[in-house]
């Protein structure tokens, strides 16, 4: 059975619209930015989010890699997952969810050491390891069908936050 899972995870296939993988910096899965301003160890969460447009919210696994942009100085320390995985996030990660799994799924936790030295607006991207990153999604009978991800998430490091002009009256209205 394990050999079947691993063989299925390694098969490339054509892209299907809408699948998304994202990187978050918090367990609440709300932040995709990070300030690298002090030395520290940080957990980054890779989430398989499904496809809102098609209603595809079930998967059986995922394949991807990550790649830093120039100026990203975080050092990868390791990967952890609640699911069976082979490989690593730096070259090629294969994760099997162990059956039909409702999304979103925190597929992987990556641990990085940051030193406070990443340049302004550097990034850590989810990338294709050899072709497009893919997910195994069940059809109506929970048979495995591989779909490739078209929305590749990224973590933004030391990027300025957009601001909007405001009057003093608008600021006071926030506290009424």
Domain spans in the chain, listed from the N-terminal domain onward: 2-173
CB within 8 Å of 88: residues ≥ 6 apart? 79
Per the confidence metrics, is the pTM higher than 0.85? no
Separation between Cα atoms, residue 39 and residue 128, nearest integer Å: 29
Q: What angle do CA 99, 105, 107 make, to 5 degrees?
A: 85
Dihedral sign, CA of 168, 174, 175, 176?
Answer: positive
Beta-bridge mates of residue 42:
112
- pLDDT tens digits along 84-128: 999 999 999 999 888 777 888 999 999 999 999 999 999 999 987
- pLDDT tens digits along 135-168: 655 555 556 666 666 667 889 998 876 555 556 6
Domain 2-173 adopts which CATH fold?
Immunoglobulin-like (2.60.40)
Separation between Cα atoms, residue 105 and residue 72, nearest integer Å: 26
């Amino acid at each position: 059975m394990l050999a079947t899972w691993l063989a299925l995870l390694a098969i490339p296939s054509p892209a299907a619209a809408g699948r998304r993988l994202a990187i978050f910096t918090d367990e609440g899965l709300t932040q995709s930015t990070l300030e690298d301003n002090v030395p520290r160890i940080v957990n980054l969460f890779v989430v398989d989010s499904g496809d809102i447009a098609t209603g595809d919210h079930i998967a059986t696994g995922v394949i991807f890699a990550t790649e830093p942009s120039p100026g990203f100085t975080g050092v990868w320390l390791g990967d952890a997952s609640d699911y069976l995985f082979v490989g690593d996030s730096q070259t090629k990660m294969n994760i099997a969810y162990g059956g039909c799994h409702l999304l979103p799924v925190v597929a992987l936790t990556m641990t990085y050491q940051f030193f406070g030295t990443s340049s302004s607006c550097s990034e850590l991207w989810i990338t294709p390891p050899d072709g497009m990153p893919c997910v195994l999604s069940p059809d109506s009978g929970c048979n495995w069908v591989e779909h490739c991800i078209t929305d590749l998430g990224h973590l933004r490091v030391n990027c300025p936050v957009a601001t909007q002009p405001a009057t003093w009256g608008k600021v006071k209205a926030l506290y009424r």
